[in-house]
Amino acid sequence: MDAEAGFVAFVQRHARTLHRTAFLLTGDVGHAEDLTQNTLVRAFAAWGRVSTAEHPLAYSQRILYRTFLREQRRRRVREVFGASHEPSIPGETAFVDDRDMVDRLLSTLPPRQRAVLLLRFLEDRSVEEAAQVLGCSAGSVKSQTSRALATLREHATNESGADRG
């Protein structure tokens, strides 16, 4: 199989996974599509290394996370995703309400903390694997995880208290 055909097959198999991760990082469908596209462009440019890697999807996810963090550093302005959420409609399932709450809570985190949580808990990566993907130390992953979880606990407590009041 030639390189281009191999890349097309890779995209067909893994684009949805990359897009899902991008959406969870960005909280916005359009931004997630842009991030996924940028990731695939970078993966194609490095296809010789990506295709021969032991886990090409993991290599591409590393590109995605690093591209996301690079974009966030360049912007230096945090986007506020919580304002884009529609208010809950009476009768929606608790699952949808919980998902909206998780989305809102994740949007309160700085980009690196959001990335660390997604790597550690959504993708079930070890501290060392997350550190390798993000290009930082294991200690940094541990401290970012701790700070992120503390922030989420605080915001979840405040949000649940506001629902009762």
Read off the pLDDT of residues 113-131 as tens digits, 9 standing for 90 and up.
999 998 998 888 899 999 9
Measured from the Cβ of residue 18, the count of other Cβ atoms closer than 10 Å reads 22
**What is the structure's pLDDT at 152?**
85
List helix spans (H) across the chain: 3-26, 29-45, 47-52, 56-75, 94-107, 111-117, 127-134, 138-164
86 pLDDT above the threshold of 60: no
Query: What pLDDT, on a 0 to 100 scale, did the predictor assign at position 127?
Result: 94
pLDDT band for position 82 (50/70/90)? very low
pLDDT score recorded for residue 161:
66
